[in-house]
Amino acid sequence: MNSDSPQIDWLQRDRLPVAPGFPQRLVILDCETTGGKPTFHRIIELGLVIVEDGRIVQRWQSLVDPETPLPVAIRQLTGIDEDMLAGAPTFARIAETLLQHLEGRILVAHNARFDHAFLKNEFARIGVSFRAKPLCSVKLSRRLFPGQRGHGLDAIVRRFGLAVKDRHRALDDALAVWQFFLRIGESIAPEDIASACDSLLARPALPPNLDPGEIERLPNSPGVYHFYDAADRLLYVGKSVKLRDRVMSHFNQDYRNPKDLRISASIAHIDFETTASDLGAQLLESRQIKALAPLHNRRLRRLVRLYEYQLEPDREGYLRVRIAAVERPDPGSDLAQQFGLFRSRRQAVRRLEKLSRDFLLCQKLTGLQTDRSPAGRPCFAHQLKRCLGACCGKEPAERYNERLNSALADYRTRAWPWPGALLIEERGSPPVEPVWHLAHEWRYLGAIQTPDELYDLGYAPIRGDTPTTVEQQPDKPDAPFDLDTYLILTRFLLQPRLLNANGIRLHPLTRIEAAE
């Protein structure tokens, strides 16, 4: 607190009304928590300032037993310790009273999505569905004071000389927001306050650093979007068939996904690229994540080693499952005995465990039981009646192998079904200017603009329509195998329904023989 700045008298502030531009029924809320993840961490203190017709009618606060250890960093930040929480009510005990205070009022908080998310998750844990209209005082500050740089509560306290007895205590922080509202009325006209509040309440809660114009320029068509922070660092790359709706979904989930919480706190700019259809969006997203390595993308990172199931018959004719590490499927091998592919050995094991339960497979033959028990002794699953006895000769090999192949049918490694490379014509639905993709052996080789590019790569040109759209320059024909590209191409190219839905036509190509 800046002691040289003019302050509202601590004893008189509750009696002052806010400007008439604010909603008349408010509850200014602040919560202190054990951490920053609403789905994992818990509330340890709540403070409410209840407003009717522009004036404070009640203040309410309560410590809350989080039923979990209190981190040292939180004790140091808030001054709340285990002794203070000893005997405090759990959230379930104060939930009814809290709901009575919140009902029918606009919920105000500094970074309202954070507090709202914690409330929703705490109520959800006791089986109560909670939803409120949040008004974020950070966004209101940005809207009404665009020339100021800092809009966090500490910056606002310093700028306006607000009186705060215990910063990072729930009721005192809520009262600081109330004082901020009083100061707003000293310099902003009521109609401007009302316009800003109405605008913020009418739209989903956007990240505090994001200009609403960034959302308005997004098309609702297929493509890829990019989230950047204020320093232009790439935070996240995503794709959708409806870009605007997908981006807005990041800001409507109340931080059920902790990743959205971290992104929301940092995002300052959104960029995008449109594609002809979902196929182009998925291919582009996969390539850009691997090339640009965004901070919050993990799943589509490039993998050097993959894992697959390989089947080998034993002496009695039973097929045994072996989890093998591979760099890519071997087109020259027997793909009928290869299944997968998986991102890690752990993923392969977990999937095999589920298949074994669902299809009553033998734990010895699947390699899930690694003990050295003698041949012919039943596996542990057989003792639990979850194996039909292939391990001890009770089930014939032919019947067991048939069931194993049924279990793995959806995981069979796909052979490339065309004699050579494939030109993929992507027009979208409804049709747009086509994009032409070149692929071979489940590798994406790039986009093609002209028949000359096909000649340069050693393929015969297509006949009829001429490619006219550039997506990117094609990669080298010996592009490495990529699991995500394999999954995307097999999903789209082998399903007529998806081909039709995305306006895709397939043109097999012929290799050009070099002249003698």
The model's confidence at residue 420, banded by pLDDT at 50, 70 and 90, is: confident
Determine the pLDDT at residue 474. Answer: 41
Determine the pLDDT at residue 204. Answer: 65
Q: Is the pLDDT of residue 462 over 70?
A: no
Instruction: List Cβ neighbours of 425 (8 Å cut-off, separation of 6 or more).
Output: 434, 436, 465, 504, 505, 506, 507
Domains of the chain: 13-202 (3.30.420.10), 212-292 (3.40.1440.10), 306-411 (no CATH), 422-508 (no CATH)
Determine the pLDDT at residue 22. Answer: 93
- Six-digit token string for 294: 């965004």
**194-215: per-residue pLDDT in tens?**
888 988 887 666 788 888 889 8
Determine the pLDDT at residue 11. Answer: 40
- Mean pLDDT computed over 331-357: 81
- Mean pLDDT computed over 222-232: 95
Q: What residue type is 29 in one-letter code?
A: L
- Mean pLDDT computed over 345-354: 93
The model's confidence at residue 395, banded by pLDDT at 50, 70 and 90, is: very high
- Longest pairwise C-alpha distance within the chain: 98
The model's confidence at residue 437, banded by pLDDT at 50, 70 and 90, is: very high
What is the b/e burial string over 260-289, where b = at least 16 CB atoms within 10 angstroms of the residue's CB? bbbbbebbbebebbbbbbbbbbbbbbbbbb
The model's confidence at residue 170, banded by pLDDT at 50, 70 and 90, is: very high
- Rounded-to-integer distance, Cα 390 and Cα 320, Å: 11
pTM greater than 0.75: no
- Mean pLDDT computed over 317-341: 76
Determine the pLDDT at residue 201. Answer: 85
The model's confidence at residue 473, banded by pLDDT at 50, 70 and 90, is: very low
Q: Is the pLDDT of residue 1 over 50?
A: no
Q: Where are the alpha helices (DSSP H) in 89-189?
A: 91-102, 112-125, 137-144, 153-160, 170-187
Q: Where are the alpha helices (DSSP H) in 361-465?
A: 363-366, 380-383, 397-408, 451-456
Q: Is the pLDDT of residue 331 over 60?
A: no
**266-320: per-residue pLDDT in tens?**
899 999 999 999 999 999 999 999 999 999 887 666 666 889 999 999 989 999 9
The model's confidence at residue 328, banded by pLDDT at 50, 70 and 90, is: low
What is the b/e burial string over 342-354, where b = at least 16 CB atoms within 10 angstroms of the residue's CB? bbeeeebbebbee
* Mean pLDDT score across all residues of the chain: 85
